[in-house]
Amino acid sequence: IGMSMFVICLCRFAAGVALNIHTVGKDFLFEFCDEGYRQIGLSIDSAFSCFGSLAGPFIGYYVYHKLDKDFEATCLVMAVAFFIGFILFFHVFFISYTPPLNVSHTDEEMARMLGHHSEQIEHTDFKSVFKQIFSDPSIRGLILVYGLSMATSECDLVLSVLYMETSWRDYGLGIDAYSLSKVSLACFIPTVLLLLWSYKIVPRHIKYINFIKYVLIIFIITVILTPLLRDIIPDENHKTYNFVIYALQSSKYVISPHAYAPYIHYLVNKRANKHIRTVINSINFVVSTLFIVIAMNLIVPLLSISLYSPMFEGKRTYSKDVSFFIVAGIGLTALFILSRSHSHSKH
């Protein structure tokens, strides 16, 4: 068992390392697209990312059962999918890629893009870029907001699945895994529509900062409501109220921090010259991953402790809320940092 766990952890680590290739993709997307199409390009990128996170659980469930619950064969199918993705990425970005000649920015265009309160990061070495990023309140705020938002979203995703699949008798919501997977898959279409159509109103009708705030506030409210539903829904015939649980979980899938991720990437990337975009995207990725890892390891285990530890016997009505309230607190911290960084950029 020890050797099997080591191999699983090693493979999981290798897969996690490979995720950083996504940051290189953002650099290429920014270079591919003219200024008027960069937001939609990053939105399409996020749409495919959401497809993986929302449809993935359903596809994984289907493949696992189709292969007679053979874990080794399921992992092999996943490895083949990763390999195909790597081949396609390598072909598009390294073999067939031709640097565009018509999207280089003049000083006048860059000044128009950045406005009066921002300046482009001109450094090219990692140390100088890192220092300038975290000394600039506006860009530091965006990176911290993105990291905290992703930590909030990923933590809630795991907590919600665990809590919803916990039986009603154990103070959970008693939703089976297959139904939850179908809800996840069904939310793909509205999620993609929000990602692909929001650029028509942002920033034309709604400012970037306000759109991020609205989405974050709605998401925080839904996180808090998740455990409170257990107190609101009556014990008798509780399954007749499953549609309320599905509706709440669907809203979290659709209106999540992933909805404004393309705009944070856009605002961060437009501050960088083309030689350091990969560096700044990597810093953004590392910071967000660090927040996710810390939050997942500290918060997710609290749910099991609060539901099953003898310490909370007789107090589970309240203890089950703790993990979700901490996640909501992280979201509120991101909201506070966003407001502070926005107020700094005005002065």
pLDDT at 280: 81
pLDDT at 1: 43
Give the Å distances, CA to CA, from 214 to 36, 143, 167, 201, 301.
24, 18, 33, 13, 29
Nearest-10 Cα torsion for 174, 178, 184, 190? -110
pLDDT at 235: 84
Considering the entire predicted model, what is its pTM?
Answer: 0.76
pLDDT at 25: 66
pLDDT at 325: 95
242-254 and 137-165 helices, crossing angle to 10°: 160
DSSP code of residue 92:
I
Cβ contacts of residue 270 below 8 Å, gap of 6+? 38, 113, 114
pLDDT at 111: 43
- Coil/strand/helix, residue 272: strand
Query: Do 160 and 249 meet the contact criterion of CB atoms below 8 Å apart?
Result: yes
| Residue-wise DSSP of 67-82 | TTT-HHHHHHHHHHHH
Question: Could you tell me the mean pLDDT of each successive run of 10 residues in the chain, 347 residues long?
Answer: 65 68 68 72 75 72 86 83 81 69 43 45 67 79 91 91 88 86 82 82 85 93 92 86 91 88 83 74 85 91 88 85 94 91 59
Q: Is cis: bond before 100, omega within 30 of 0?
A: no
160/302 Cα distance (integer angstroms): 13
pLDDT in tens, 168-225: 888 888 888 888 878 887 887 888 888 788 878 888 888 888 999 999 999 999 999 9
Cβ contacts of residue 273 below 8 Å, gap of 6+? 120, 121, 122, 124
pLDDT at 271: 74
pLDDT in tens, 288-309: 889 998 999 999 999 888 888 8
